[in-house]
């Protein structure tokens, strides 16, 4: 099942001992990108489910932790960075 290789790799990396929210987001996006070209029905279904799950994973604490991690901050969209800045400013006041 070659079409599941990117997901198997992601599962292995997510079981690592040193895992930050930014690292998780990075591995997640790499898996999404490497799976886009696989056009089997199974791979398509897995990617659809990952996109659905991604919405529930991008909660403020995860976005904030990623924003504060310079190595992975670039993975956030402009909208995510702006909303995180606003939340951090409100928290600090």
C-beta of residue 14 within 8 angstroms of C-beta of residue 38:
no
Q: Look at the chain and report how many structural domains it folds into.
A: 1
Compute and round to an integer the Cα radius of gyration of the chain: 15
Tell me the per-residue pLDDT of 4-25, one tens digit each, with 9 for 90 and over.
Answer: 888 888 888 888 778 889 998 9
Domain span including residue 85: 2-92
Flag whether pLDDT at 1 surpasses 80: no
Sign of the C-alpha dihedral, residues 49, 75, 86, 92? positive
Q: Quick check: pTM over 0.85?
A: no
Q: What is the predicted pLDDT for the residue at 84?
A: 93
């Amino acid at each position: 099942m070659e079409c599941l290789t990117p997901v198997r790799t992601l599962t292995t990396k997510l079981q690592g001992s040193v895992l930050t929210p930014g690292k998780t987001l990075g591995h997640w996006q790499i898996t999404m990108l490497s799976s886009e070209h696989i056009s089997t029905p199974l791979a398509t279904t897995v990617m659809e489910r990952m996109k659905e799950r991604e919405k529930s994973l991008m909660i403020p604490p995860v976005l904030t932790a990623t924003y504060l991690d310079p190595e992975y901050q670039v993975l956030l969209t402009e909208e995510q960075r702006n909303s995180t800045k606003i939340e951090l400013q409100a928290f600090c006041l």
